[in-house]
Structure 1
Amino acid sequence: MGRFDGVLLMSDFDNTLVFTADALTAGKDVPPLHPKNQAALAEFVAEGGQFGVATGRALAAFMCYVSDLPINVPCVTANGGGLYDFKTQQYLYAVTLPEIAAVHGQEIIDAFPRVAVEAYPNSQHIYVVQRNHVTDQHEVLTQVKCIDEPDLSQVPQPLAKLLFTGFHEDLLAIKDFLTTKPWAEEYELIFSGEHLLEMTSKEASKGAMVTRLADYLGIDMAHVYCAGDEANDMSMLQIAAQGFAPENAIPAVKALDVVPVCHAKDGAIAQVVARLKERYPA
């Protein structure tokens, strides 16, 4: 019996588990998992803990990092659009956008010519319409080359999510634009970064999928812990027995009932594990 038997820890990837902001904004390489995080998670898993990632990234944009992470449970992808088991290489559960979302997404970018949209089927491919500078930077971050298409009608269905990329002021304007549309309530629209605005099914969220994962694993929610830094992490931080937020988290995340830990670039998840050791003494 290990001290962390029956304990589930789910971490956001970008800027929580690994600090990737510089890769997106300055084209730098994505750093490896911080040595402190590596050691702490190895101890957590060795003591019976179950660790996974809940990421806004779709499967294609996360695959290249999995082998370097001490993951031992299925992971949440596409902001709750999917629950993927890397051992069996299949989705346990998926929530996809309705086909009409491609029409609605096209209407949005037609109205905002500086904004690109990345389309994510539940596959190994990412498609882009109206490519911009953020798309180019995002390709460096995800290490996946996007396939250019003239419009969203050419992208394979079903889609896990649409990701609008561009200047923050344009993305804020898109949120306002949606309030004028009768179909706005059909979607979840949430920031995963200053230049990244996610559009998913209303039923898709990290919190809902972490809850589903805990049920699948037979873990009581009283022993589920989550860490995240952005608006798209708030749903899982709120359903966790305790949420954790790195120093670089946005103010709205810090305002939740979360335990603050150090900056993601300094090994925030190692501090999370240290707090869990206090909760579950040997």
Structure 2
Amino acid sequence: MPDGRILFTDLDGTLLTDDRMVSEGNRRAIADALERGNYIAAATGRAVNSAKMIMEELGLTLPGCYMIAFNGSVLYDCYEKRILQQETIPVPDVCRLFEAAHHAGIYIQTYNRNEILTERKTKELDYYAEMSGLTYRLMPDLGHETLKEAYKVLLIYQNGREVLEAFQKENEHWAKERLNSFFSSSEFLEYTPAGVSKGSAVRNLCQYLGIPLEHAVAVGDEWNDISMIQAAGIGAAVKNAVDAVKEAADYVTQRDHNLDAVAEVIDRFLL
């Protein structure tokens, strides 16, 4: 059994600042944690390639560095550069979500391992591609014949969460047994394979590494982080987290994501 602890940290709104940078304080704390025999895992809704760019920029390609991508659909070893586990949404369910989103007038996209896949170019696509750094492929005939894999599905609506909440409720009758759905921000409604979440990925990676869950620390800020905060032995919410995350957490940082919140968690629970 490994001696160290493992930190699961969300990226956007947690490790990353508003400028999508990582502070020097957080960089030093992560380096100290690794040097002392701990493990680091980024846990994000981002695609593999998008999260890899951040991990590589941080130098987190050493032994003990891992990544949860697509909100739990992929576990990735950043040192060995290989996927450890992956799950995908059945193509018929992806197509059904696309049809429902078209009917509701909501932008929708899915992914393969490296790209955004969607049917047309919109302002939502431009916004997301710029934020994530991902390339995209337009597939006007996206469907059973053209789609081979889908790690998650994302709906984006920027003029009120209520529209996405209504979509989630209207499709619950068929989706709840087949898919997991949750908000990763007020603008993003996400669907992953059934039973897949950041929390399930925390449990799976700890099992793979032989690390007891009580030696896991997780920190995040949004609704999609609640499952990993509850799964880990210690769950932390950053100061800027939504209220639901703070209520689920064992600890709330005194600093926010722009002021070394992750370093605060590392100093308190890993060093």
Please give the TM-score of this superposition, normalised by the length of structure 2. 0.90
Deviation at 1:131, TM superposition (A): 4.0
Deviation at 1:73, TM superposition (A): 2.5
Deviation at 1:254, TM superposition (A): 0.9
Query: 2:91–2:147: 8 Å Cα contact kept in structure 1?
Result: no
Match of residue 136 from structure 1: 126
Percent identity reads 28
Deviation at 1:84, TM superposition (A): 1.1
Please give the root-mean-square deviation of Cα atoms over the aligned residues, in Å: 1.8
Change (3 A) 1:141 1:183: closer
Q: Which moved more, 1:30-39 or 1:239-248?
A: 30-39
Instruction: Look up the SS of the partner of 1:74 in the other structure.
Output: strand
CA distance in structure 1 between the aligned counterparts of 2:22 and 2:14, rounded to whole angstroms: 11
CA distance in structure 1 between the aligned counterparts of 2:120 and 2:176, rounded to whole angstroms: 22
Please give the TM-score of this superposition, normalised by the length of structure 1. 0.87
Query: 2:237–2:249: 8 Å Cα contact kept in structure 1?
Result: no
Structure 2 residue 58 is the aligned partner of structure 1 residue 60 = no
Match of residue 36 from structure 1: 25
CA distance in structure 2 between the aligned counterparts of 1:131 and 1:197, rounded to whole angstroms: 19
Out of 1, 7, 32, which is 2:5 matched to?
7
Q: How far does the alpha carbon of each residue in 1:210-250 deviate from its partner, in whole angstroms, 9 at most, with x for none? A: 11111111111111100011111111100111111111111
Instruction: Look up the SS of the partner of 2:204 in the other structure.
Output: helix
Residue pairs, 1:162-241, within 5 angstroms: 162-167=153-158, 168-179=161-172, 181-241=173-233
Aligned pairs, how many? 263
Unpaired runs of 5+ residues, structure 2, are none
Deviation at 1:32, TM superposition (A): 2.1
Match of residue 265 from structure 2: 272
Match of residue 109 from structure 1: 101
Residue identity in the other structure for 1:135 = L
Instruction: Look up the SS of the partner of 2:114 in the other structure.
Output: coil
CA distance in structure 2 between the aligned counterparts of 1:126 and 1:133, rounded to whole angstroms: 14
Residue identity in the other structure for 1:33 = V
Deviation at 1:258, TM superposition (A): 2.5
Change (3 A) 1:151 1:189: farther
Residue identity in the other structure for 1:61 = S
Residue identity in the other structure for 2:111 = Y
Unpaired runs of 5+ residues, structure 1, are 21-29
Out of 50, 53, 62, which is 2:39 matched to?
50
Change (3 A) 1:70 1:235: farther
